[in-house]
Homo-oligomer: A and B are copies of this chain.
Amino acid sequence: MAEKYDIVIVGAGPVGLMFSACLLRLGPYKIKHIDNRAEPTATGRADGIQARTLDVLQNMGLKRSIMSYNPGRVYEVAFWNASDENGIRRTGNSKSYPDYIDTRYPFSTIIHQGRIEKILLDDLGHRGVEVQRPWTIAGFREDSRDPTDPLEVDLVSVDGNKRSRLRTKYIFGADGPRSVVRQMLNIPMVSKDPTVHVWCVIDGVVKSDFPDIQIKCAIHSSTGSAMIIPHGNNRVRIYLQIFPKPGEQPLEFATLAKTQQVANVIFSPYKVEWESVEWHSAYRIGQAIASSYTLDQRVFIGGDACHTHSPKAGQGMNYGFLDAHNLAWKLHLVETGFMKGSLLGTYEDERKLAAAKLVEFDARYANLFSSRQSSNREGQNSEFVQVFKENSLLTSGYGVSYPPSPLTRASRTASGPLRTGHSFPTATVTRVVDAHVAYLEQEIPFNGSYRIYIFAGNRATTSQAINHLTVHLQLRGSIFRRYQRKEVDLSYEKRHNPHSDFFTFLVIFHAQRSSVDIHECLPDFLACYKYHIYADDYQGPDKKQATAHIKMGFDIENGGVVVVRPDGYVGLVMDLVDGRRTAEALDGYFAPIVPEQANIPALATL
């Protein structure tokens, strides 16, 4: 009998590791994780974590490990251009993320791929998953011999000496731009722009009189383009565009010595001297997207296997991480009986759309970056700067939104930052039970639960609506009732999920914390969530009360309700009203998501 796994993950770069890390937070999944490299990445390669990605990593409990490396932080970008006189000069500056971007982290975090892989590998190790390497996938087929684990997979060690056959429910290919899994699925890459640029990159320690050496810079000199990424602790990355002859291998052309020489010409009149070099590479890059992200909702691909683009906007690892994050909770909810299998199609719908926007921006940005003729005089790259600024919402990650679907229902006219399909806005409130300052968007860890935020406004006004809501949620036939445990679990361990692992309720009163007595203010059903009752009374450093209600576009009297998906994206926004309408709207959101009752597997009663 072949050994059985819940999933086979091919590739242990950041995206594959992220997918394992996500799944292991959702359930005790049995994972076979392989990589065709003998060792993890030591250094170099991907290096940028954008703000929305840091949110997601924080929600998974991984931000502290990242910050312990004291990574680089990019708060600003400087633009340098050819001047008439003597080499380059600074022509402008821009914040990485302008003020209108709603984030706790107004900077890009810079940490090389070696450290990212180490953080994720350590996390997996603590959870009992080791990556098997150097192994690759030799083939797979779907058959009906075992309906629970319909896939038969053949693995082989890279030296060809060892083979194993196993059965699994799913395969996830996170095996990079030349993905073997994608090739096995015969999924073509669709190129978006025929232009291919060649870039080389050096990581290390420089001694330089260039004043912005610790700031992200986009440099257009009369001899070529360059980019600086500060890595923190005196380390920098420098990208340089190079021009090998057709057919010449980038790395053959761009030796380290040649690269360093090119840099000094571009940076003139400044000098760049390398005290040490940690990593050096060169490659051609184009923009392309896989025509499909899956076969039969059983075999999926994600990350660079699905989309390739230039590294200039620092997006690759970020889009890959969010691919993995997006698919993991959906797979989990399907496996535990809370979601119809057909909704796995939203993985491709959502992430391919996001990738398409990225690739479109990147093609434009990369062309402008490389265009020497348009930028050899200062001020003439205003189009470049404009494209950079216009896209900062996209590059921060907060500009990615998902189209209408059963998971994101445009239920209310958008106004303000709370919009279905977008990530839930940041909001700071006070937790009632312990008076802690709480970041509302981070209060529920990535655990597969839907997060139902009840902005309860003024208690005197909304108490009837809240009572009606809970009464109707408890009625026979309600989807909430269907997925509830037989007994409420009031233990600390289940504080997010006393009724069910599929949903958490959070209640935010527009009131002073000390005036909220949980048991007086709430029916028992909601009082169970005692760690998730909040007062919207937080005053920031400016001692001005910034109410979460108003930020969300809710009335401070009447409140409103928000359904947030387990990945932090808003699924539904609705009013909080007397009678059965609010409960019906909630039920109406979940009805097209959950399977017919008959299909709920045993796990759902967990």
Given known contacts A64-B68, A234-B492, is B435 in contact with A215 (CB within 8 Å)?
yes
Q: Give the CA-CA distance A230 to B434 in the complex, in Å.
A: 8
Given known contacts A211-B517, A492-B234, is B542 in contact with A435 (CB within 8 Å)?
no
Give chain B residues whose Cβ lies under 8 Å from the Cβ of A437: 75
Give chain B residues whose Cβ lies under 8 Å from the Cβ of A433: 211, 214-215
On whether the beta carbons of A541 and B542 are closer than 8 Å, the reply is yes
Closest 6 A/B residue pairs (Cβ): A214-B434, A76-B435, A234-B492, A542-B542, A93-B514, A75-B435
On whether the beta carbons of A544 and B542 are closer than 8 Å, the reply is yes
Report the minimal beta-carbon distance from A549 to chain B, rounded to whole angstroms: 18
Report the minimal beta-carbon distance from A160 to chain B, rounded to whole angstroms: 44
Give chain B residues whose Cβ lies under 8 Å from the Cβ of A73: 434, 436
Q: Give the CA-CA distance A214 to B434 in the complex, in Å.
A: 5
Q: Could you show 27 A-B contacts with beta carbons less than 8 Å apart? A: A64-B64, A64-B68, A73-B436, A75-B434, A75-B436, A76-B435, A76-B513, A90-B514, A93-B514, A99-B539, A99-B543, A205-B492, A211-B519, A214-B433, A214-B434, A215-B433, A215-B434, A215-B435, A230-B434, A233-B492, A234-B492, A540-B540, A540-B541, A540-B542, A541-B541, A541-B542, A542-B544
A side interface size, CB within 8 A = 36
Which of A234, A433, A434, A540 is most buried by chain B, counting CB atoms within 10 A of its CB? A434
A518 at interface (Cβ–Cβ under 8 A)?
A: yes
Q: Give the CA-CA distance A543 to B67 in the complex, in Å.
A: 25
Interface 1/0 per residue, A285-308 and B, CB below 8 Å: 000000000000000000000000
Q: Give the CA-CA distance A436 to B76 in the complex, in Å.
A: 8
Which of A90, A215, A513, A539 is most buried by chain B, counting CB atoms within 10 A of its CB? A215
Give chain B residues whose Cβ lies under 8 Å from the Cβ of A78: 514
Interface 1/0 per residue, A429-446 and B, CB below 8 Å: 010011111000000000
Give chain B residues whose Cβ lies under 8 Å from the Cβ of A211: 433, 517-519
Interface 1/0 per residue, A82-94 and B, CB below 8 Å: 0000000010010
Which residue on chain B has the smallest CB distance to residue A490?
B207
Given A75-B434, A76-B435, A542-B544, 5 more A-B residue pairs with CB atoms under 8 Å apart are: A74-B435, A78-B514, A211-B433, A215-B434, A215-B435
Report the minimal beta-carbon distance from A218 to chain B, rounded to whole angstroms: 14
Q: Give the CA-CA distance A84 to B598 in the complex, in Å.
A: 58
Give chain B residues whose Cβ lies under 8 Å from the Cβ of A514: 76, 78, 90, 93
Interface 1/0 per residue, A11-38 and B, CB below 8 Å: 0000000000000000000000000000
Q: Give the CA-CA distance A336 to B66 in the complex, in Å.
A: 37
Interface 1/0 per residue, A56-84 and B, CB below 8 Å: 00000000100110000111101000000
Give chain B residues whose Cβ lies under 8 Å from the Cβ of A518: 211
Report the minimal beta-carbon distance from A48 to chain B, rounded to whole angstroms: 16
Report the minimal beta-carbon distance from A506 to chain B, rounded to whole angstroms: 17
Q: Give the CA-CA distance A492 to B276 in the complex, in Å.
A: 13
Report the minimal beta-carbon distance from A444 to chain B, rounded to whole angstroms: 16
